Amino acid sequence: MDRILKGVMRYRKCHRDVMVKQFQQVKDHPEPQAVFFTCMDSRMIPTRFTETNVGDMFVVRNAGNIVPHSHHFDDELTMCEPAALELGCIVNDIRHVIVCGHSDCKAMNLLYALRDENFASQANRRLSPLRAWLCAHGTSSLAKFQQLEITNFKEPLMFQAETPMRRFVAYIDPENKFAVEDKLSQINTLQQLQNVASYGFLKQRLEKHDLHVHALWFDIYTGDIYYFSRAGKRFVEINEMTETPLLKEIKKYYS
């Protein structure tokens, strides 16, 4: 708390005036452009690595950047994540949902360990809310990972996008740059796009192509950020060479 209080004092001296000006600019009517789901990991600071400011986007954080599939809920009413989707996409008319995973995700490392049946037992889940959360909402990602593992990570996976008929193919880490748990993290990030599209209250906007889902992935060791390219069928690093092609793809798919 000593560090937090000192940080507040530095904010008052150095940054408060700038932030207040931003608040005054958006006033009571901000126009956020995205709902951004990411992990609660302390190393993930999405407003910093996206250079976004006050009013630019809604940020929802949890263990493993998970959006639970709608089949877990009666009438889709019982958790924060679908409520955030409604607040952002229905109440505030936001057109873009972004899910951002990252390397060395502790939740994904634990999900990988949950392949062990004893570790994932009902008794252990009762003792660990985190294990229970991952067993309830991470099994689809783990199943796809195990499907890919059988092929030695060489075959593509298929994911549903905005509608059941609109699907995309994904090659996971084709250059074999990342740890096996990071491959699971990338699969999990893409699985959440399918989960977002499962909510009935979003169906009409998704079918009209008035709402779009995107995946980012952040490498905490290099600071590199990857965008999932449906045209390229893989995560592509966002850099000076890829920025223009990715922007063209986004305009083509999501305009």
Say what the pLDDT of residue 255 is.
63
Alpha helices by DSSP H, listed for the chain, are 2-14, 16-26, 46-49, 80-85, 106-113, 122-127, 129-137, 139-150, 180-196, 203-207, 243-254
Asked if 32 and 94 touch (Cβ cutoff 8 Å), the reply is: yes
- The per-residue pLDDT for 232 is 96
Nearest to 238 by CA among 92, 66, 98: 98
Q: What is the CATH number of domain 31-254?
A: 3.40.1050.10
Rounded CA-CA distance 204/211 in Å is 9
* Residue of 146, 160, 153 whose CA lies nearest to 230: 160
The letter for the amino acid at 37 is F
What pLDDT, on a 0 to 100 scale, did the predictor assign at position 29?
82
Q: What is the rounded CA–CA span in Å between residue 31 and residue 228?
A: 25
Determine the Cα–Cα distance for residues 153 and 176; give it in Å rounded to an integer.
9
Per-residue pLDDT of the chain (255 residues; tens, 9 = 90+): 999 999 999 989 998 998 898 888 888 788 899 999 999 999 999 999 999 989 999 999 999 999 999 987 765 557 899 999 999 999 999 999 999 999 999 999 999 998 877 766 776 667 789 988 998 899 999 999 999 999 999 999 999 988 888 899 999 999 999 999 999 999 999 999 999 999 999 999 999 999 999 999 999 999 999 999 999 999 999 999 999 999 999 888 776
What's the confidence (pLDDT) of residue 163? Answer: 87
CA atoms within 13 A on the CB side of 52: 17
Q: Mapped to the 3 state alphabet, what secondary structure does 175-220 carry?
A: CCCCCHHHHHHHHHHHHHHHHHCCCHHHHHHHHCCCCEEEEEEECC
pLDDT of residue 212: 94
Strand (E) or helix (H) holding 237? strand 234-237
Name the DSSP letter for residue 36.
Answer: E
Judge residue 224's burial from the number of C-beta atoms within 10 Å of its C-beta, 0-12 exposed, 13-18 middle, 19 or more buried.
middle
- pLDDT digit string (tens) for 134-185? 988 999 999 999 999 999 999 999 999 888 888 999 999 999 999 999 999 9
CATH 3.40.1050.10 in the chain, residue ranges: 31-254
pLDDT attached to residue 75: 56
Contact residues for 2 (Cβ-Cβ < 8 A; gap 6+) = none
Say what the alpha-carbon torsion angle 212, 196, 59, 78 is, to the nearest 10 degrees: 150
pLDDT of residue 74: 65
Rg (CA), the chain: 19
The pLDDT assigned to 145 comes to 97
DSSP state of 253: H
Q: Give residues with Cβ within 8 angstroms of 173, minimum separation 6.
A: 153, 182, 183, 186, 235
User: Cα 62 to the chain's mean position, in Å?
Assistant: 10
